[in-house]
Amino acid sequence: MSRSLPPLLSRLRDADGLPDGIPGLSLEEKQTLAQELRDEIIGVVAHNGGHLAPSLGVVELTLALLSVFDARRDPIIWDVGHQSYPWKILTGRADRFETLRRYGGISGFPRREESPCDHFGVGHASTSVSAALGMAVARDLRGGDEHVTAVIGDGALTGGLALEALNQAGGMGRRLIVILNDNGMSISKNVGAISLFLSRNLSRHGVMRLKNRMGDAMRSVPKVGDWLLDTVRRGETSFKSFFTPGMLYEAFGINYIGPVDGHDIAKLERHLEAAKVLDKPVLLHVRTRKGRGYTPAEENPSRFHGISRFDLQTGRSISAPLPSDDYSGPGFTPAFASALCDLAEQDERIVAITAAMPDGTGTSMFQTRFPSRFIDVGICEEHAVTLAAGLAARGMRPVVAIYSTFLQRAYDQIIHDVCLQKLPVTFCLDRAGLVGEDGPTHHGAFDLSWLRAVPGLSVIAPRDELDLRNCLATALSLDAPAALRYPRGRSERLPMEILEKCRQGDRPGFTLLPVGTGELTLRGRELCVMAVGLQVHMAEEAARRIEAESGRRISVFDARWVKPLPEKQILELARAHHSLLLVEENTRAGGFSSAVLELLADNDLLNGKCIRRAALPDDFVPHGSCEHLRDLTGLDQNHLHALMREMLDAQRIPERQRDGSRPA
C-alpha cells in the first residue's frame, strides 16, 4: 500500500516533519487539516487494523494542543495511547503512518524511542496522571518552566491509579494540566459511580428551576424560612458546585474548567491558554464523540474501538485479515464463553467478572444470559480480584476473565487476597502469549512465570478449544484457586466443522481432568517434545513432517498443567528419551521450561541429556503479526521442525566425537 499525503499534511511534513507549523494555521486551515487527518486515519486503519474510534474522537483536541504547546518541550502524555494516531501523524510520522502496527513500522502506542514528542510510553490504562505529576515535580526540582499535560479518558479515570494520582496532585499543588476526554466510554460502556456522576449534565435552566423551587419551599417554613434562604444564598457558590461535574475534582484540590466542546478548536485553544497560566493543578473537562467523522464508528464505537481490517465503504470486517491472524468465528474466546455459560447453567454459584472487556473476553454472552451474576468493574483489575475473593469467601465460584497483560496489575491481590486464603477463584487469562500488532504492552508473555511462583495456585494451559472446556470445568471443581491461560485466535488443531458445531450449540459435555496429569499425544523413541498450550499442535505437526520425511518418530507430550507439573510422567519420559525439547509461548525466564529443568535437576536427570528450549526471549517482543513474531522468536512450526531435525541429527554422531574426542 502506498498513500500520498493530502495537501496540508504534506505541507507540514515538508517543513520538518514536526508540528511547528500548526500554530500558524488559520482556524479554517485547522478544520481542513482535521478532515485530512480523519481521512488518513480511516484509510490506514481500514487496511492495517487498529484503534479507530478513539483516535477519530480527539482530532480537534490534538490540533488545539499542538497549537498551544511545544510538543518537544512540553510533555503531553496520552493515557493508554489508543487515541494517539492524530498525534503520531502530526509529530513527524505522517510519511510512515501507513506502516502502523506492522513489524518494523510505527507502534500503535506512543513510544519514547519513536519520537522526541513521545515523552512517555503507554499501553495500559490510568497511568498518565501519575507520570505527568512525576514530570511536573522533576521540572520544579530542576527549576524548569515547561508545561506538563496528561490526557485521560473518562473510562481510564475510573482506575484506582488515576484517582490516587489526582489525590496526590491536588495535595501537592504543582502546576499541572489534566485533560479529561469525556466520550462516555472506555472500550465498552463505562461503569461505576464516577461514570454516572460525569454523565450528569444539568443545564443552567434546570439548576435555576431547582433553586427557585427550593427557595419557595424554604420561605414556607414557619419562623426560620427567611433565615434558611439567606444562609443558602450566602453559600450560592457551594450550591452551584454541587450540581456540576467539577465538584469531584475541586474536592481533590484541583481547579476545574468545563465542560468544553471537544470538537470546537477555537474554544479548546482559549481554554488551554487559560489553563496554562494557572500555577496550580487544573482539570479541563472536554466532551468528545468517539468515532467522529466515520458513520459506522459513530454508530458502533465499541466495535470500532479496536478493529481488524475492514471495508472502508461498509465498515464490515474483512473475514480473512492480512497480515493479522485475528480469526473470526470459532476460537478460544468463543469456546471459553460458551463453556462458561454451559457450566453456569449447572451451577448457580458461578459469577463472571471482567474489567471493561466483556466483548474481548467473551463474557458479554454470560452477561446476556445471567445478568445478575455478571460484574464489569471497569478498568480496575485489582478490585476485580479482591471482589472475586469476597465472593468466594461467601461460597460463590467467581470466574475472573481478564487479558493476561492486564491481570499483571493485580498480582498482589492474587497472592494476598486469593491464594494466601486458599479461595476458589478461577482466573481466565485470554490473549496469553503473543497477541500481534498491539506489541509489547499487550503480549501475554510473562503469565506462566509469575503465576507458577504463587503457592497453591494451579496453572493450566489448554491445547485447543475442546480442551479448554474440560480445563475450565476442572478448575471450577477445585476447592482452590486456579488459572487458565489461552491465546488469541483459534488452535487449528481441531477441524473447523467441529468448532462451528460447538459454536452453534452442538457441544459435548465436560470431562474432569486429573490434576497434574498430562497426555502423550504422539509416541516416539529418540526425542520427546514437551509443550503446553498452542505449541502442542505446532510440535505435533512438525513431528509428523519429520516422520514423513525420515521415518523417525518423535514423542509429543502435552503437559497441560504448568502447576502442579505432571512430575511422574515427565520423569518417566526423560528417562526414556535421550533428547528433550521444551516448548512454550512464554518468556524463557521462569516459565514451563524452567519448571521442567528444575524438576530434572532435583532428580539428577540433566547429565548426559540433550535438552533444548523454544520459548520467548528474555526481552520485550515487538509488534507485528503473530505469524511473523512466531517466526522471529523461533516458535513457528518451521523453526520447531528445524530444531527437532538438528537434535535428531546430533544423536547420530558417535559418542566420543560428540564429547570432543577423536573419532576412532
Residues serving a catalytic function are: 290, 381, 409
CA dist 304 and 321 (Å) reads 15
CA distances from 375 to 351, 352, 396, 400, 412 (A): 8, 6, 13, 10, 21
Query: Do the Cβ atoms of 151 and 78 come closer than 8 Å?
Result: yes
Query: Do the Cβ atoms of 540 and 499 come closer than 8 Å?
Result: no
Query: Amino acid identity of 178?
Result: V
Beta bridge partners of 459: 483, 563
Backbone angles phi, psi at 299, to 5 degrees: -75, -25
Query: Do the Cβ atoms of 211 and 235 come closer than 8 Å?
Result: no
CA dist 404 and 226 (Å) reads 62
CA distances from 272 to 65, 68, 255, 257, 262 (A): 8, 7, 13, 10, 12
Omega before residue 321 within 30° of 0, cis: no
CA dist 93 and 122 (Å) reads 18
CA dist 97 and 231 (Å) reads 60
CA dist 77 and 181 (Å) reads 13
Residues 6+ apart with CB under 8 A from 58: 83, 86, 151, 181, 262, 288
CA distances from 604 to 252, 556, 570, 597, 655 (A): 60, 22, 13, 10, 20
Q: What share of the chain is helix, strand, coil (3-state, %, to 5)?
A: 45, 15, 40
CA dist 209 and 236 (Å) reads 14
CA dist 210 and 201 (Å) reads 14
H/E run at residue 133: helix 128-142
Beta bridge partners of 460: 484, 561
Strands (E), 175-300: 177-182, 255-261, 282-287
Closest to 45 measured CA to CA, from 54, 32, 33: 54
Query: Do the Cβ atoms of 579 and 527 come closer than 8 Å?
Result: yes
Q: How many residues does the chain have?
A: 664
The distance from CA 587 to its chain's CA centroid, rounded to whole angstroms, is 18
Q: What angle do CA 603, 606, 607 make, to 5 degrees?
A: 115
Strands (E), 356-431: 374-376, 397-403, 426-430
Closest to 610 measured CA to CA, from 635, 636, 577, 653: 577
Query: Amino acid identity of 486?
Result: Y
